[in-house]
Amino acid sequence: MAYQSLNPYDGKILKTFEELTDKQLETALQTAAKCFEIWRHTTFTERTAVLKRAAAILRTRVEDFARPITLEMGKLIEESRGEVALSADILDYYAENAERFLAPQQLTPASGEATIESSPLGVLFGVEPWNFPYYQLARFVAPNLMAGNVVLVKHASNVPQCAIAFADLFIEAGAPVGAYTNLLISKAQVARVIADPRVKGVALTGSEAAGTIVAGQAGGALKKSTMELGGSDAFIVLEDADLDETVKWALWGRINNAGQCCVAAKRFVVVEEVADRFLEKFKAAMGGLKTGDPMDKTTTLAPLSSNQALLTLVDQVDRSVAKGARIVIGGKRVDGSGAFMQPTILTDIEPGTPAYTEEFFGPVALFFRVADEDAAVALANDSSFGLGGSVFTKDIARGKRVASRIDTGMVFINHPTWTAADLPFGGIKHSGYGRELSSLGIQEFVNKKLIRVADINAPA
């Protein structure tokens, strides 16, 4: 029973689910392959109707979908409601724009005619994480269903009720059986699915370690893949930033989703001129957070997703302190039941320290003081990750110049890295490759076919 709902707030097991047998998995693969031969020939109007109905169901039954998120992985209930709304936005976005994004592109060759057509690849396989149980699914499923592909999804083992709810959503919305299939499968079965010739592409959102394995398996089978992996986003504060507003965003950027976000602000890189004032304000803000039941609207810091996630984070802090990092606030787990970590700030972090090189997935902020703008950029780029980042300054032109120097897939000015349906999402370096969302996200798993018309009497 590898798939288990366990409430991280009180440690209670909610429900367990059996993995699929190999025979059941084979049936799912057969069904998906047969469905693709039908779905690929549906019109954009027909596909749009399904996604629009799914989005409408999410909007009318927000609580039904939000509660399982909070119960299974601990997200604050208001954040869970926000995730449901964001997922609906993504479904609507691709329903409304997919046909335009995939319209034939007319080229202008030296002679004759040429067109690029976009056609679906077939059955796609997505391996998705627990930290945003619906949003992660929506951004994989929506563009690919609209492109005419069908999808198989292996969701994280600790959010099975969310996984099942999202699959049921599409059946309720009128999608044919096989268009979206949730797979409760083992790691060995994941490898089998990736290798299966009926599967034409693989997408993973997860850890660097998981990405290495899945990308290797997909590459070995010569299949297109996209990888959205970890991050250690730099939150750069320049001397002319509005400190009060910047600290508000620093708190949100580090604590949203209890800090369990690949694009969370993790490394706070502050120029010397304002470093002490920023740290004082940031410490006060972090110290004012209240742990408690994530279903309670007065709770401001949710538990981590599991006790193991908490133990991993505490170990990272302990190893960093042993290497010379200093605790400004927090540093320990919260006494009592629940997977709670104290709001923590570490400073005096030197190269080679775990806090310098590793991704911290939870409410632990890594504080760095630097001499100036150039030093801030250098530190931001001194990372194996390259997902997002942010720059805080009153001078927008300066902020844009700094953003252009940061080696990541995304940089925000005066806002922590975040997401929206119409903005491309993805990174470079060990943060992965490929893009999701926006017009770019729907182009990843389509065949860009050239159709060329030439004069039969033209010279070779």
Q: pLDDT tens digit string along 228-266?
A: 999 999 999 999 999 999 999 999 999 999 999 999 999
Q: What is the pLDDT of residue 455?
A: 85
Q: Find the mean pLDDT for residues 367-391.
A: 98
Give catalytic residues, as residue numbers: 228, 262
Can you give the pLDDT at residue 337? 84
- CA dihedral (329, 331, 335, 341) in degrees, to 10, reads 100
430-444 confidence digits (pLDDT tens): 999 999 999 999 999
Q: What are phi and psi of 411, to 5 degrees?
A: -140, 130
Phi, psi of 11 (to 5 degrees): 75, 10
Mean per-residue pLDDT over the chain, rounded: 97
Confidence tier at 459 by pLDDT (50, 70, 90):
confident
